[in-house]
Amino acid sequence: MTSTSVHLAVYDTFADWEPGFATAHLAQNGHTVHTVGATTDPVTTMGGMRIRPDLALDDLRPEDSALLILTGAGLWDTGDTLAPFARRARTFLDAGVPVAAICGATAGLAREGLLDDRAHTSAVSFYLAATGYAGGSHYIDADAVTDTGGASHGALVTAGPTEPVAFAREIFGLLGVYEPKKLDAWYRLFHDSDASAYEVLQG
């Protein structure tokens, strides 16, 4: 694997619609998306699709990746089943490799203490407050937020469950998938159905 590899965590009850914009356009722009499960046994998404992960979480190393994507899942709020994924996110951030979390995955990161001192967002502030985390003062009411991490930590993207397009926009900006003018056009096309943005993307 190379730094163009992106890793998408998959698990039972995984919210399959949330990373779709990001992974599709990453794959079309020079990145390879690899799925990561707790093991390589198949998982079933919230939409009923079965996915066999490319590799197990224990085999995932930050140095082999450009980004770890964590999506929502019912399991984030029903126990500690997915806690190992949050712990691996800590490993990524400590190694200076970015992490992107949407929906329930933000609560998993909050429980792990990863949002205590980083700018972030989620579904609503009280959803994260219910985790007992200490980062409430860093919560931003926005569609998606990127905390650049500073010199010692990897960048962190967070978004709420209704914002898969904004989530993808932040990922593309972070990885340099589109230059700023085209990134704005991409967002206007897919979020606002602005047909005029298509010409900018093709230019």
- Cα dihedral 122, 67, 96, 70 sign: positive
What is the spatial distance between Cα 167 and Cα 18, in angstroms, rounded to a whole number?
A: 8
9, 66, 99, 103: the catalytic one is 103
Among candidate residues 188, 173, 182, 184, the one with its CA nearest the CA of residue 201:
182
SS (H, E, C) 185-196: HHHHHHHHCCCC
Q: Is 103 a catalytic residue?
A: yes
Would you tell me the crossing angle of helices 20-27 and 164-175 to the nearest 10 degrees?
40
Tokens of 180: 């700023």
CA-wise closest residue to 63 among 91, 102, 44: 91
Distance CA 21, CA 7 (A): 15
Nearest to 15 by CA among 102, 129, 130, 132: 102
- Here the tokens at position 59 are 């085999």
Positions marked catalytic: 103
